């Protein structure tokens, strides 16, 4: 019968750049983003349900989570992943997903998508389905735009509505200090606020990729632009204060991730983030989540294929 349970990690992401390139016919915005995995993860355990327990009323998918306010039904992206996986593989055995969340929720860090990616990988192993990565990526794209990136990870260029993902040269080693305020931002709201004619500067993604390849931090920092940031900053001026404090404490560059509200300061390899982390933790830590994490390249720092 094989393993009874398999645990997989789902890692958080930050956006190094986010360009919005218009509204598509399907209602999504066309985007181009450079994404980076951070060493901050949720754990998703897929578990077979004991046949003695699995009576006729046993639900096919059960979700448990350490955070009470995260939905455990079909609104949960890991639940959606399990349902799609079962539908496409024809596996009928019931499954229990235990989610241990460390990634802040509604933060712009793709926590739900990370859980969906981890659930797909865990179920693929648990039930011996042997779906190739490409197939998991296709399923992931049906669940949510960020799921394919969460399956691949590292440093990537994401286009389309975010689901077309290509690994690029890895970002040089760095540490990030992340600050997640105590309010959430709805992703649809952030996109609705976007106004094409108010854009003063777009990120130049080829220039950023060139700077990454040359390990040129000034060039990388110059392209760290997120077009969803201005309206969110206007609505929540505290985010500007956080960015300025991170810069004051020596960050190489600062940006809001995704649709926010998490803002981060990135500290290039030779710079220490510990002074900034201590300051931010002391000043903001009683109300906000403040974390210090390294970047993460799955499989090590191998060059792009």
Q: Give me the residues that bind ligand ATP (CB under 6 A), please.
A: 70-71, 75-78, 99, 105-113, 115, 146, 187, 258-259
Q: Indicate which residue of 80, 146, 245, 249 is catalytic.
A: 146
Residue whose CB is less far from ligand ATP, 111 or 265: 111
For residue 175, the number of C-alpha atoms closer than 13 Å in the C-beta half-sphere is 16
Which residue minimizes CB distance to ligand ATP? 112
Residue whose CB is less far from ligand ATP, 51 or 71: 71
Residue whose CB is less far from ligand ATP, 75 or 302: 75
Minimum separation from the CB atom of position 106 to ligand ATP (A)? 5
Query: What pairing do the DSSP bridges indicate for beta strands 5-23 and 29-48?
Result: antiparallel
Catalytic, 182? Answer no
Q: Residues, the chain, total?
A: 305
Minimum separation from the CB atom of position 259 to ligand ATP (A)? 5
Q: Buried (b) or exposed (e) across 46-64, using 16+ Cβ within 10 A?
A: bbbbeeeeeeeeeeebbbe
Here the tokens at position 259 are 């649709």
Query: What pairing do the DSSP bridges indicate for beta strands 95-100 and 61-65?
Result: parallel
Minimum separation from the CB atom of position 161 to ligand ATP (A)? 12
Here the tokens at position 71 are 């939905």
- Report the distance separating Cα 256 and Cα 272, nearest Å: 20
Catalytic, 73? Answer no
Could you give the strand order of the β-sheet that contains 289-294, starting from the edge strand earlier in sequence? Answer: 253-256, 263-268, 174-180, 289-294
Minimum separation from the CB atom of position 21 to ligand ATP (A)? 18
Q: Indicate which residue of 13, 80, 101, 121 is catalytic.
A: 13
- Report the distance separating Cα 188 and Cα 61, nearest Å: 28
Residue whose CB is less far from ligand ATP, 94 or 258: 258
Q: Can you tell me which residue has the tokens 């349970």?
A: 5
Q: Can you tell me which residue has the tokens 């040269």?
A: 169
Minimum separation from the CB atom of position 176 to ligand ATP (A)? 15
Residue whose CB is less far from ligand ATP, 68 or 237: 68
**Which amino acids are annotated catalytic?**
13, 146
């Amino acid at each position: 019968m094989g393993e009874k349970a398999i645990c997989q990690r789902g890692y958080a992401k930050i956006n190094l750049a986010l360009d919005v390139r218009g509204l598509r016919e399907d209602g999504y915005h066309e985007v181009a983003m450079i994404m980076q995995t951070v060493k901050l993860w949720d754990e998703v355990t897929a578990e077979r349900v004991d046949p003695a327990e699995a009576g006729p009323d046993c639900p096919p998918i059960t979700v448990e989570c350490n955070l009470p306010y995260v939905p455990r039904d079909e609104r949960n992206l890991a639940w959606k992943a399990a349902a799609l996986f079962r539908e496409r593989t024809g596996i009928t055995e019931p499954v229990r997903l235990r989610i241990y969340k460390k990634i802040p929720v509604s933060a712009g860090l793709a926590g739900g998508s990370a859980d969906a990616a981890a659930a797909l990988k865990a179920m693929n192993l648990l039930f011996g389905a042997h779906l190739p990565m490409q197939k998991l990526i296709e399923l992931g794209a049906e669940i949510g735009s960020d799921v394919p990136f969460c399956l691949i990870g590292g440093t990537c260029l994401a286009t389309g509505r975010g689901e077309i993902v290509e690994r690029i040269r890895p970002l040089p080693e760095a540490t990030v200090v992340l600050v997640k305020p105590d309010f959430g931002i709805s992703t649809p709201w952030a996109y609705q606020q976007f106004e094409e004619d108010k854009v003063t500067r777009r990120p130049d993604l080829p220039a950023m990729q060139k700077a990454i390849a040359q390990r040129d931090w000034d060039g990388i920092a110059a392209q760290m632009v997120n077009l969803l940031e201005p309206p969110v900053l206007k609505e929540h001026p505290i985010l500007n204060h956080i960015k300025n404090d991170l810069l004051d404490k020596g960050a190489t560059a600062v940006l809001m991730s995704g649709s926010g509200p998490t803002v981060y300061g990135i500290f290039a390899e030779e710079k220490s983030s510990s002074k900034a982390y201590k300051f931010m933790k002391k000043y903001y830590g009683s109300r906000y989540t403040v974390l210090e994490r390294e970047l993460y390249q799955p499989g090590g720092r191998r060059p792009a294929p």
